[in-house]
């Protein structure tokens, strides 16, 4: 599948963030929101969160890496409504390419599946990289994550927490973890402690809450 076919409508949107008085470039690169995807999402949320949902009020941001080397492979994965391993309807709100370019795949208030226990309230940022667990995310990606988080916080003041996917257990302290299916859990290492350390440092003057490495 050639993802460039799905670039309609792709355009750079310059969004002025009042709180930070800076300009952030986000390339819209939407995954198709089909009736089937919506049905899958309602089924998923009913099973895992006890209610049918397609939208969220963001309370947290979860940072990931894709464990793949190219934007194209990430997009193809997310574009599929269901995957060969039976995983359904996985997606993240933002994907940051190696060069720091930001793509938004779904509205940030859409329910996406990216972090077990937190999807009902969390925005997901995926960073292209981390193949074989190598902590190789770039400085440009770090800067882009800072931009996204600042922009989202200004837009959604309900956001209080930022954590790496590997910090999913520590983040239960937030009280946001919710999962009704027993033993539904996957060990995670993304996006690496090094990246989260730098991200946390960038927000040292912010009231956003991070978790120990």
Q: Can you give the binding site for Zn ion, defined by CB under 5 A?
A: 64, 165, 190
CB of 164 to Zn ion, least distance (A): 8
Identity of the residue, 29 or 165, whose beta carbon is nearer to Zn ion in the bound complex: 165
Question: How far is Cα 156 from Cα 112, in angstroms, rounded to an integer?
Answer: 17
Work out how close the CB of 168 gets to Zn ion at its nearest, in angstroms, rounded to a whole number: 9
Q: Which is nearer to Zn ion, 153 or 165 (CB)?
A: 165
Residue recorded with tokens 């999402």: 41
Q: Which is nearer to Zn ion, 64 or 93 (CB)?
A: 64
Cβ proximity to Zn ion, 17 vs 70, nearer residue: 70
Closest CA to 6 of 39, 37, 36, 31: 31
Task: Pick between residue 7 and residue 189 the one whose CB is nearest to Zn ion.
Answer: 189
Contact 93, 39 (CB under 8 A): no
Rounded Cα–Cα distance for residues 99 and 184 (Å) = 34
Closest distance to Zn ion from the beta carbon of 126 (Å): 7
Looking at beta carbons only, is 50 or 133 nearer to Zn ion? 133
Rounded least distance, CB 9 to Zn ion, Å:
27
Q: How far is the CB of 13 from Zn ion (least distance, A)?
A: 26
In Å, what is the CA distance from 24 to each residue of 131, 148, 191? Answer: 27, 8, 22
Task: Characterize 100-130 residue by residue with b for buried, 16 or more Cβ atoms within 10 angstroms of its Cβ, and e for exposed.
Answer: bbbbbbbebebbbbbbbbbbbbbbbbbbbbb
Contacts of 18 (CB under 8 A, 6+ apart): 154
Token pair of 146 as six digits: 């800072």
Report, in Å, the least distance between residue 129 CB and Zn ion: 12
């Amino acid at each position: 599948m050639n993802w460039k076919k799905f670039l309609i409508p792709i355009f750079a949107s310059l969004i002025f963030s009042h709180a930070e008085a800076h300009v952030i470039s986000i390339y819209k690169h939407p995954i198709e929101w089909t009736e089937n995807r919506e049905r899958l999402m309602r089924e998923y949320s009913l099973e895992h969160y006890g209610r049918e949902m397609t939208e969220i009020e963001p309370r947290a941001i979860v940072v990931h890496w894709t464990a793949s080397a190219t934007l194209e492979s990430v997009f193809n994965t997310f574009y599929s409504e269901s995957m060969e391993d039976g995983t359904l309807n996985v997606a993240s709100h933002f994907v940051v390419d190696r060069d720091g370019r930001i793509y938004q795949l779904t509205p940030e208030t859409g329910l996406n599946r990216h972090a077990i226990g937190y999807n009902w309230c969390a925005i997901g940022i995926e960073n292209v990289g981390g193949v074989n667990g190598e902590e190789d995310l770039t400085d440009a990606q770090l800067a882009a994550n800072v931009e996204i988080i600042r922009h989202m916080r200004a837009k959604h003041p309900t956001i209080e927490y930022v954590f790496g996917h590997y910090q999913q257990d520590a983040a239960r302290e937030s009280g946001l973890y919710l999962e009704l299916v027993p033993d539904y859990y996957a060990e995670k290492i993304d996006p690496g402690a090094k990246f989260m350390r730098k991200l946390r440092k960038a927000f040292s003057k912010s009231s956003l809450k991070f978790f120990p490495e």
